[in-house]
Structure 1
């Protein structure tokens, strides 16, 4: 059995943009992944609302992804693949897309140098460029935290390319979630049910080619 870890923010946790509650397991993209890949794959969900790649909110320190990543991967080891989709929430700090991507690269040695893979192997790492924010983000209750909507839109447009660059520089796999799914019209930030379904199926195709 292959162990696949999905590490991300509210779009991995499965926030419903309409109700702000959590989609059922079979609706969330990791759940779609599990259905698509079958019983030979163990899909591990590690999504958290508000999780950042590296930044830390003073009132929510547990949301800093890099701080939790090592105990997370070691607790779920051995891992055959780690999927990381993070960075959107870092925009709330005014961080630059390139800066966020460069910090995302810090995850890679943590995964590679701490015996998190199966014996004798390092886990495959799939970096996924997160959702592209749209003008509908103006309707989101989270917009005040992020600030200017147009700035967030522009940052999310270019961030994906920097994630691709980091993946290529470090020998990781890469996928752009925007090629499969867009943000919902409800809040311009989170995937709706169709988005989760499309993303789960797209990532399943990548995994099939690797295993």
Structure 2
């Protein structure tokens, strides 16, 4: 049995555009588990608002780097770690872009490969460049003001980081786009597309 840890934000957690949470069976980690088979364990460890490395002054405990080691030990040994973070880095109060988000992902890669007291081997890493942000509307409009253009560069910088660090790479923007309801989060079809895109990248590695 393989353990696959999906470490992300609300796009992994299952935020319904403009409010609420999808039932677990509609979220992409569960759909991925269905594809891989239930002899394997796919863990949804998404958290709304999570960033790569930034402390959010308005939301407690959202720094992804601070909690990654604890997650790896809690669920370990983890065979495959899927990282899809960076969307929240583009919120206007952080004043950073896709380049800085990618560098944040690189810090997460480094953290995941550090020796640990339990002797767990480093997981195989899948880096997912988040989907491009469309026109943010509703409750996310103000937070993501200016993020549309920044998100166009996710693919470029994330692919560079993944290649440099010998990680599996997926450009989510190549297989889906956010729901037009709020321009940031995924609809059920987007969740399906993401699970279907990740599956062939890892099915022969477990």
Instruction: Give the structure-2-normalised TM-score.
Output: 0.93
CA distance in 1, matches of 2:117, 2:122: 7
CA distance in 2, matches of 1:186, 1:69: 31
Is the 8 Å Cα contact of residues 140 and 188 (structure 1) preserved in structure 2? no
Deviations 1:148-172 (CA, angstroms, capped at 9, x unpaired): xxx3111111122101110000111
SS across alignment from 1:62 = coil
Is the 8 Å Cα contact of residues 79 and 118 (structure 1) preserved in structure 2? no
**Do structure 1's residue 90 and structure 2's residue 64 form an aligned pair?**
no
Name the residue aligned to 2:16. 16
SS across alignment from 1:127 = strand
What is the CA distance between 1:103 and its match in structure 2? 1.9
Name the residue aligned to 1:27. 26
Name the residue aligned to 1:103. 104
**Bigger share in helix:** 1
Correspondent of 1:166 among 147, 161, 166: 161
Query: Within 5 A, what are the aligned runs for 1:171-190?
Result: 171-190=166-185
Name the residue aligned to 1:67. 66
| Length, aligned pairs only | 204
Deviations 1:16-48 (CA, angstroms, capped at 9, x unpaired): 115x11101110000100111102210011000
Deviations 1:120-143 (CA, angstroms, capped at 9, x unpaired): x421000100121012x1x23112
Query: Within 5 A, what are the aligned runs for 1:68-147?
Result: 68-92=67-91, 93-115=94-116, 121-135=121-135, 137=136, 139-147=137-145
Instruction: Give the structure-1-normalised TM-score.
Output: 0.91
Structure 1 residues 55 and 75: CA distance shift in structure 2, 3 A:
same
CA distance in 2, matches of 1:106, 1:80: 19
**Do structure 1's residue 204 and structure 2's residue 203 form an aligned pair?**
no
CA distance in 1, matches of 2:152, 2:199: 24
- CA RMSD across the alignment: 1.6
Unmatched 5+ stretches in structure 1: none
Is the 8 Å Cα contact of residues 17 and 187 (structure 1) preserved in structure 2? yes
What is the CA distance between 1:116 and its match in structure 2? 8.9
SS across alignment from 1:49 = coil
